[in-house]
Amino acid sequence: MEPNEPKIKVEYGTEVTIVTFDVDNILEEQQIKELEAALKPVITRNEERKLVLNFGHVRFMSSAFLGLLVKVHKRVIETGGHLQLLNLDPKIHKVFEITQLTKIFDIVRAGG
């Protein structure tokens, strides 16, 4: 079995950095650790800008990944940046509502 490589696409702009997750499921602990390692330099480089995490391909994520998102949010805020989540699947968005993470995260739905 091949190790899972973090499947993200990063686009750096002058005022915004967009990270697109190119996976359907974010469930395994090793995968989450690899995503965390891949996101750290992006957060560092993103200082004082908006960081957009695009979940357009993601259909399922574990609670451990939610924990990573909270850590990412904290790091982005500490560097003076702003984190925005984009294109959450309706089922995932429901989990954010139930856990009241919609009060912490700036979540934008596709098309508005």
- Round to whole Å and give the CA distance between 110 and 63: 23
Q: Please report the domains of the chain, with CATH numbers, ordered by start residue.
A: 8-108 (3.30.750.24)
How is 14-37 classified by DSSP, letter by letter?
A: SSEEEEEE--SEE--HHHHHHHHH
Half-sphere exposure of 48 (CA within 13 A, CB side): 1
- Which tens digit of pLDDT belongs to each residue from 59-106? 999 999 999 999 999 999 999 999 999 999 999 999 999 999 999 999
pTM above 0.85, yes or no: yes
